[in-house]
Amino acid sequence: MNILILAAGSRNKIVQYFKKAFCGEGTVVATDASELGPAIYDADKHYIVPPITDPGYIDIILDICRKESIGGVLSLIDPELSLLAQNEHRFKALGTTVIGSSFELCELTLDKMRMYHWLAEHGYNCARSWMDKGEFFKAVSAGEIAYPVFVKPYRGSASISISKVFDGDTVELLLAHGRDLMIQEFLNGQEIGADVYIDMISGEVVSIFTKKKIKMRAGETDKAVSFKDERLFELIERFVVEAGFRGQIDIDIFDINGEYYISEVNPRFGGGYPHAYEAGCDHMRLILNNLNGIANKKNIGAYDEGVYMMKYNEVKILKA
């Protein structure tokens, strides 16, 4: 069983973990748009491909799947998730499983305003959000919302172009000079990350790992500590099943005075997943089982509490 990891970039650990899981069972193939994407050199085999915006991109990926007898394919970047889901039937015709959620869910999670409305309509605590500045200023005047707030693209990832704003004049200025921006309530509480695997066969949530974030860097968890809360596990399971996610997802949550707020969902491996793996949640093995037609047994919270993760820099040296 061979697997293809797209947009590997600098996610070396993810590629390494797949190699451990697939050792003796299959080949790990990785792609990137740059020869200087260090993670591709940890794979058994790699390809340099055009950017995902290239008109012929998906045909190139399908050709790699055909050539390498790929059993499963996944991407590590948000913009590509919808593209894979949209072409799922073409991969299926080759015998390749797209490891991830539906096109509708990938689009929902990428659109932060639509995600906000979905969460609010389904009764989940979440950060209030506005696209209409007039409605936002009405809420401020009514005392329903207070500064600071975030002004951010309603479609985006990796915390790019996010501004923390402390007054109305700055909100006006940012909205006047930016397009497709939204205003979002600032959630002041303990930020939590959840790495979740939903079985591709049974649709059951089979693994959940949760961590309290201690420090963030460039939109990713830099330092964190594992913890468990059955109430949180139940919330995550209810949300994930109700929404209909499949495969690996990453959820950002806030604990505000004992109440959990769902912030964002990324239907892929998050940058902090190595914490989950090193604590005992091997989701690569769960993926391999699914690709082999084996449904995984539920094993939620199968890790130790009080395990700290601290990221540090490594280098990959490559001769010209």
In tens, the pLDDT along 217-275 reads: 877 788 999 999 999 999 999 999 999 999 999 999 999 999 999 999 999 999 999 99
- At 24 the pLDDT is 93
Percent of the chain with pLDDT over 90: 91
Distance CA 116, CA 127 (A): 7
Report, as an integer, the average pLDDT of 86-103: 98
For the chain, domain boundaries: 2-99, 128-185, 188-310
291 sits in which H/E element? helix 283-291
* Burial class of residue 214 (count of CB atoms within 10 Å of its CB; 0-12, 13-18, 19+): middle
Distance CA 260, CA 53 (A): 37
- At 129 the pLDDT is 97
Region 188-310: CATH code: 3.30.470.20
Region 2-99: CATH code: 3.40.50.20
Whether 160 shows a pLDDT value over 80: the answer reads no
The helix/strand/coil state of 157 is: coil
- At 159 the pLDDT is 55
CA gyration radius, the chain: 20
Least Cα distance to 277 among 7, 12, 56 occurs for: 12
Long-range Cβ contacts of 90-95 (<8 Å, 24+ apart): 90/58, 90/62, 91/62, 91/65, 94/62, 94/65, 94/66, 94/70, 95/69, 95/71
**What is the CATH topology of the domain spanning 128-185?**
Dna Ligase; domain 1 (3.30.1490)
- Return the exposure string of 242-252: e unless at least 16 CB atoms fall within 10 Å of the residue's CB, then b: ebebbbbbbbb
Contact 303, 279 (CB under 8 A): yes
Average pLDDT, the chain: 95
Q: Give the phi and the psi of residue 150 in degrees, each rounded to 5.
A: -105, 140
Q: Amino acid identity, residue 80?
A: E
pTM metric for this prediction:
0.94
Residue 258 CB coordination number (10 Å): 7
Contact 210, 192 (CB under 8 A): yes
Please work out, in degrees rounded to the nearest 5, the angle formed at the alpha carbon of residue 251 by the alpha carbons of 65 and 278.
75
- At 220 the pLDDT is 79
